């Protein structure tokens, strides 16, 4: 049996326009102890450190994420219309 993960002190950046569904996602993450920032501008990990990034995969654009190539420095979760 594995232990329940502890997300207290994690930081999440949600790259999405502010809307009701995103507020619900934010509230759920906060219940897990995650500090959440919602923004709709390109991410700068130096300015906004994050342990995980959730991004609007429907409306996002190439420069929204600051890294090139296949390997992101943090886990990235794509939000599609059904989740967002």
Strand partners, 77: 54
How far is it, in rounded angstroms, from Cα 7 to Cα 30? 9
Predicted local distance difference test score (pLDDT) of residue 50: 96
Check residue 55 and give left, alpha or beta (phi > 0: left; psi -120 to 50: alpha). Answer: beta
Predicted local distance difference test score (pLDDT) of residue 34: 98
pTM: 0.87
Condensed to tens digits (0 to 9), the pLDDT of residues 23-39 reads: 999 999 999 999 999 99
Sign of CA dihedral 42, 37, 15, 75: positive
């Amino acid at each position: 049996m594995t232990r329940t993960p502890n997300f207290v002190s994690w930081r999440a950046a949600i790259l999405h326009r502010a809307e009701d569904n995103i507020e619900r996602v934010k509230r759920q993450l906060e219940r897990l102890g995650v500090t959440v920032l919602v923004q709709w501008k390109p991410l700068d990990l130096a300015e906004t450190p994050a342990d995980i990034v959730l991004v609007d995969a429907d409306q996002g654009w190439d420069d929204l994420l600051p890294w090139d190539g296949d390997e992101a420095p943090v886990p990235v979760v794509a939000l599609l219309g059904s989740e967002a």
